[in-house]
């Protein structure tokens, strides 16, 4: 079953049920790893909003949840390597355990920029939790990347928070571009 979004055609890649199952496992892991620590989850908008919402409902340890906004794609299907910072962080993260929540790690440029920026505020620890990872496109090794939902091929995906030309964020499953 294909789906047309703006001028491009997509097909299903990861179904809603598979995402939910994976998120259950990831949250169980986080509950175990951060027991007694009261971490701050920082979602990177816009793409992570559904992932954060669904995952955080399964987190049972005390935690804080906040968001920051970074973008590098500007509506296209390839990374521009230019990062525009829209919102800064309003919470004090010094001495705190930080879990950055990402929709997808592609080249890793966005993430390494954010990690360096957060490190300046001396958090106790920083780890990254990303729903998706494209290992074949990673340009920088990121030791903080501890939790990954799914590894995917070098392909463009939409749905479950991820957009193409700002469309498709509302889709319950993840779809890949048919090339
Ligand atoms: P990076 O800096 O790792 O190259 O790019 C990360 C950001 O680019 C992600 O947070 C996401 O917003 C966007 N991005 C990377 N790959 C994809 C993709 O396949 N689909 C969509 N919709 N966005 C992507
Ligand atoms: Mg993102
Ligand atoms: Mg985008």
pLDDT tens-digit readout, 25-65: 999 999 999 999 999 999 999 999 999 999 999 999 999 99
Of 67-76, 85-94, 119-128, the range with the highest mean pLDDT is 119-128
Question: Helices 16-33 and 49-56, interaxial angle, to 10°?
Answer: 60
With respect to residue 92, please indicate whether it lies within any of the assigned structural domains: yes
Q: Is the ipTM of this complex over 0.90?
A: yes
Taking CB atoms and a 6 Å cutoff, what residues make up the pocket around ligand 1? 47, 72-73, 79, 102-111, 156-158, 162-164
Is there a domain that residue 179 lies in?
A: no
CATH code for the domain of 80: 3.40.50.2020
For the range 31-36, what are the long-range contacts, defined as Cβ-Cβ under 8 Å and sequence gap of 24 or more?
A: 31/58, 31/59, 31/60, 31/61, 34/61, 34/63, 34/97, 34/99, 35/61, 36/61
Q: How many folded domains does the chain comprise? A: 1
Residue 19 resides in a domain = yes
The question of whether 106 is a catalytic residue gets the answer: yes
State the residue range of the domain holding 141: 3-165
Has residue 142 been placed in a domain?
yes
In a domain, 176, yes or no: no
For ligand 1, what atom is nearest to the CA of residue 155?
19
């Amino acid at each position: 079953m294909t789906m047309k979004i703006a001028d491009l055609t997509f097909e299903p890649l990861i179904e809603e049920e598979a995402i939910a199952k994976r998120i259950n496992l990831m949250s169980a892991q986080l509950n175990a790893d951060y027991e007694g620590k009261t971490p701050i989850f920082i979602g990177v908008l816009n793409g992570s909003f559904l992932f954060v919402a669904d995952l955080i409902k399964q987190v049972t340890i005390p935690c804080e949840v906040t968001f920051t906004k970074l973008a590098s794609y500007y509506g296209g299907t390839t990374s521009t390597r230019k990062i525009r910072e829209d919102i800064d962080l309003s919470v004090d993260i010094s001495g705190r355990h930080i879990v950055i929540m990402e929709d997808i790690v592609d080249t890793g440029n966005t993430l390494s920029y954010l990690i360096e920026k957060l490190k300046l505020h001396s958090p106790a620890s920083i780890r990254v939790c990303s729903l998706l990872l494209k290992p074949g496109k990673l340009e920088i090794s990121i030791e903080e990347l501890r939790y990954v939902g799914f590894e995917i091929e070098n392909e463009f995906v939409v749905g479950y928070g991820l957009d193409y030309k700002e469309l498709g964020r509302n889709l319950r499953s993840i779809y890949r571009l048919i090339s």
